Amino acid sequence: MEPSDSPSGSRRPRGFRARWTAWRNRLLSSPVFQRRAAAFPLSRPIARRRAARLFDLVAGFTYSQTLHAFVESGWLDRLTAGPRTETDLANHTGLSPEATDRLLRAAGSLKLAEPLGGGWWTLGAEGAALSGNAGAIAMIRHHHLLYTDLADPLELLRRDRAENGALSRYWAYAGSPDAARADAEAVSPYSALMAASQPMVTEQILAAYRFSRHSKLLDIGGGDGAFLGAVAEAAPMLALGLFDLPAVAERARARLGAAGHAARIAFHPGDFTADPLPTGYDIVTLVRILHDHDDHVAARLLASIRAALPPGGVLLIAEPMAGTPGAEAMGDAYFGLYLWAMRSGRPRRPDEIGALLSDAGFSSWRSVPNRQPLIARIIVASA
């Protein structure tokens, strides 16, 4: 085999980019270069930032666990109510003074908490931002399942995707052949988590897209109806429909009925992987649905939506996507491994979703700019 060949027989990359990255990597890995960069005044700030980023990669799990402890201890709630003493926080958590000091210092370094002096602490800047985000708090409390699976990431990746792990057992009903027969108890944890984290996604959609231009909207996989309830407030003349598993649709009926919206909403119980979709809607929404499913399921769902829409009808897709500028790690590192552990789905780039839309028969698609693409990006397709 020639040196330029890989074991699979494909040629090694050549050209400027391959030469440039090889030179860059040799330089950055050189201890001599690292020492000189750290010593030279003009390159010293860059060297320090690079070293800090590398250490953050090494220490990231402890940062996440500090965050988890800060939330689970109840300190986030107590400090949201106002400054507290170290003694108060220790008594609330049952930690020794030494352990309390250690966790407070860790939280302070991450700006979750901030010392005021004299043994008093308050929320830090990051803690204050977190305290108003119920969706993020719900995900933090849920993450212990993901961390269990990631204790041995290579074993997770070697594991057959049909094999259950901690996270996939949590989502078990959603990927089950018997999903349509799941009862209220089985869907409750999933629905509650989705409802808690939905507002931050809903805010992005409502600020970016005007639903009042449509007459009738169907939300597929609508969960507890959190998104549909917000649309009902934003577009009071819009007729609404929700399609989800029977037990989930019943939860949505109760929730939206209590909010006074039930009279405007048609509830369609069913399983979109097996049942036909209702027709008569000029816009369909998929909010954090597509990335939960593998390509063959996503392709079948998009084809079903295209068949159900009238000519000129619209499909709106909103979810976190891979390749988001400034948030690349969120897409492929976080959601990539999360969805692998869940045993279903993958993060997709907008162009990958666009290819699926074209294959499903949609005439065109476009990305819709929104304020926080890290939370979700938006694609609109025309039938």
In the chain, beta strands by DSSP E: 84-85, 113-117, 120-123, 216-220, 239-244, 265-269, 283-287, 314-319, 364-368, 377-382
Q: How far apart are CA 258 and CA 251, in angstroms?
A: 11
Please give the pLDDT value at position 282.
97
Please give the pLDDT value at position 9.
58
Q: How far apart are CA 276 and CA 290, in angstroms?
A: 17
The answer to whether the CB of 324 falls within 8 A of the CB of 377 is yes
The token duo for 271 is 């399983």
| pTM of the shown model | 0.84
Q: What DSSP string describes 136-152?
A: HHHHHHHHHHHHHHTTS
**In what helix (H) or strand (E) does residue 200 lie, and over which residues does it extend?**
helix 184-208
Is the Cα torsion angle 349, 353, 358, 364 positive or negative in sign?
negative
Closest by CA to 69, choosing from 97, 119, 106, is 106
Q: How far apart are CA 31 and CA 224, in angstroms?
A: 55
Q: How far apart are CA 141 and CA 132, in angstroms?
A: 15
Neighbours of 171 (CB within 10 A): 19
Burial class (CB in 10 A: 0-12, 13-18, 19+), 239: middle
Please give the pLDDT value at position 2.
42
Q: Could you give all domains of the chain from N- to C-terminal order, each with its CATH number?
A: 40-131 (1.10.10.10), 189-382 (3.40.50.150)
pLDDT in 10s for each residue of the chain, 383 residues = 444 445 555 677 778 888 888 877 787 778 887 888 788 788 888 878 888 888 888 888 999 999 999 999 999 999 999 999 999 999 999 999 999 999 999 999 999 999 999 999 999 999 999 998 888 898 899 899 899 999 999 999 988 776 778 888 776 655 554 555 545 555 566 666 766 778 889 999 999 999 999 999 999 998 889 999 999 999 999 999 999 999 889 988 998 989 888 888 999 999 999 999 999 999 999 999 999 999 999 999 999 999 999 999 999 999 999 999 989 998 999 999 999 998 899 999 999 999 999 999 999 999 999 999 999 999 999 99
Q: What DSSP string describes 38-101?
A: HHSTTTHHHHHHHHHHHHHHHHHHHHHHHHHHHHHTTHHHHHHHS-EEHHHHHHHHT--HHHHH
Closest by CA to 206, choosing from 183, 225, 232, 182, is 232
Look at the chain and count its residues: 383
What is the residue whose two structure tokens read 């998009």? 302
**CB-based contacts of 246, cutoff 8 Å, min separation 6:** 180, 181, 182, 269, 270
What is the residue whose two structure tokens read 């390159």? 43
DSSP three-state, residue 237:
coil
Neighbours of 233 (CB within 10 A): 10
**CA 227, 374, 213 angle in degrees (round to 5)?**
40
Q: How far apart are CA 378 and CA 370, in angstroms?
A: 7
